[in-house]
Amino acid sequence: MGRLLAQHGWILHRRPWRETSLLIELFSLELGRVGLVARGARSARSPWRGLGEPFVPLEAEWTRRGEMGTLTRLEPAGPRPRLAGRSLWCGLYANELLICLVGRDEPLPEVFAAYEQLLSALAGDPDPAAGLRAFELALLRALGVAPDLACEADSGVAIRPEGWYRLEPEAGFFAVAGPQGRHVYSGRAILALERGEAVESSHRRSGRDITRCLLDHQLDGRVLNTREWFRSL
């Protein structure tokens, strides 16, 4: 592959390589997740200093002949969202999800749009729960593994707000008699998650648990560092 035209993107992860360079995971609009070498990016004279890190909107160009590309241009593409505290953790968590669940060279424009919406929400909302659930659902749907949040899996009957449902990650929601058992949620909480509605705290916890159950199934035992870090705090 030769030289690529400018791609809008965000750095998901970076780590030092050799004396002055970086290995970068970039999430781009048109090409998805790509691995890049940023030669000399850590040197004192590099024009890329301060740019080769997460949560900076970028325009990037690179050349590529194998799995990894070589960065040739990197410029800011807009104001940087200011993330701190819980919002910063949520952003790092979203980055780790993308690295773990999205393959390289797999364009996912709907996920890219949801990611940018999440960063915008995190920068301006002290309570990031709704934005994070929306991003998680967008990712699950793009991967083709999100269950129907409006209808029962076996019958196709609409989920009732007053009903109770058991979640099976590979199938969906099944009606049960009551709230007993693992991964059982109220219909009201499921529908609120589907509609992105702000609801009472117990339903918000249910929404978090639903997306976590679905994501954990896709992670297949892989532990997310951001979750462990947040627990340690």
How many degrees, rounded to 5, is the angle at CA 9 between CA 36 and CA 32? 70
Provide the residue type at 69 as one letter: G
Question: What phi-psi label fits residue 107: left (phi over 0), alpha (psi between -120 and 50 degrees) or beta?
Answer: beta
Q: CB within 8 A of 7, min separation 6: which ones?
A: 26, 28, 29, 30, 31, 59, 60, 61
CA distance 35 to 141: 24
pLDDT digits (tens, 9 = 90+) for 156-170: 999 999 999 999 999
pLDDT at 27: 97
pLDDT at 5: 67
CA distance 141 to 50: 34
Q: CB within 8 A of 107, min separation 6: which ones?
A: 29, 30, 31, 32
Q: What is the pTM of this model?
A: 0.91
User: Looking at the chain, which residues constitute the CATH 1.20.1440.120 domain(s)?
Assistant: 86-232
pLDDT digits (tens, 9 = 90+) for 72-107: 999 999 899 999 888 999 999 999 999 999 999 999
List the one residue out of 35, 37, 28, 32 whose CA is nearest residue 7: 28
How many beta carbons lie within 10 A of that of residue 78, not counting itself? 11
CA distance 66 to 159: 48
Provide the residue type at 159 as one letter: I
Span 86-232: which CATH code?
1.20.1440.120
Does the domain spanning 7-76 belong to CATH 3.40.250.10?
no
pLDDT at 49: 83
Residue ranges of the chain with pLDDT lower than 70?
Answer: 1-3, 5, 126, 198-200, 233
Phi, psi of 101 (to 5 degrees): -110, -15
